[in-house]
Amino acid sequence: MLKIKNLYVNIKNNLIIKGLNLRIKRNEIHVIMGPNGSGKSTLSYIISGKPKYRIDKGKIYFNKKLINNLSPYEISKLGIFLSFQYPIEINGITMYSFLKNILKNKYNNKELLKKIYKVCNKLKIKKNYLYRNFNVGFSGGEKKKNEILQMLLLKPKLVILDEIDSGLDIDTLNIIFKNINKYKNKNKCSLIIITHNTNIIKYIKPNYVHILYNGKIIKSSNKKIIKNIEKYGYKNIINNEIK
């Protein structure tokens, strides 16, 4: 479904991604971990087409289509969804009008409201939030729930979750992952989960765990590697790479 070949990404003349390869099939869960500043968020932005991020070299294919030069809108229409590490606040736009807009009049008002209410219930989001300015004054957990709300409404094929679990209380974590798992099992979508949380395997079952360091995936393994990271940190894995 997603194929990244020998990717090099440049931000303001700094090489951030340096020869990254990744292949993701349908219905797979890939966890990406790695020290701060390794390039995890950059990778998620570049897949989603963030403007001004320059691909120096390499190719990104989604369902065999080259997406290197597509706009975020075009990439999103193909079925790729990114949940931001730091969701932004938008003053002057209510959550409802935002959601209506991203769904591009797919439903009439009555249908849309019914759909949104249904998803709000699943995520335990109070309905009055729909009439508040988008994310403005929301708590960290409420912003993350809003990301999952958009995901469930847009029905993407590839979901990228950039630290969806950072700073969440245990109940919010449970609600969010229950909904992510349900969506994944029903739609057989693929997931890229970027996290620092070594407890992640309590919430999802990854097929692969990748360690991203200094702009490259230096190790791909299964969930067992997480125990190792919990015990020793990234030191061993990084040292083996440097050797």
Point out which residues bind Mg ion (CB under 5 A).
Answer: 40-41, 85
**Element containing residue 158 per DSSP (H, E):** strand 158-162
Among the listed ranges 33-41, 71-79, 201-209, 235-243, the one in contact with ligand ADP (CB under 6 A) is: 33-41
Is 36 one of the binding residues for ligand ADP (CB under 6 A)?
yes
* Cβ distance to ligand ADP smaller for residue 50 or 122: 50
Is 42 one of the binding residues for ligand ADP (CB under 6 A)?
yes
Q: Which residues contact 32 (CB under 8 A, 6 or more apart)?
A: 40, 43, 192, 193, 194, 195, 209, 210, 211, 212, 217
Q: Which of ligand ADP, Mg ion, none interacts with 69 (beta carbon under 5 to 8 A by kind)? A: none
Q: Is 81 left (phi over 0), alpha (psi -120 to 50) or beta?
A: beta
Is 39 one of the binding residues for ligand ADP (CB under 6 A)?
yes
Among the listed ranges 10-18, 118-126, 177-185, 222-230, the one in contact with ligand ADP (CB under 6 A) is: 10-18
**Rounded Cα distance, 187 and 194, in Å:** 20
Is 83 one of the binding residues for ligand ADP (CB under 6 A)?
no
Q: Which residues contact 202 (CB under 8 A, 6 or more apart)?
A: none
Name the one residue in this structure whose structure tokens are 């360091």: 213
Q: How far is the CB of 121 from Mg ion (least distance, A)?
A: 31
For binding to ligand ADP (CB under 6 A), which residues are involved? 11-12, 14, 16, 34, 36-42
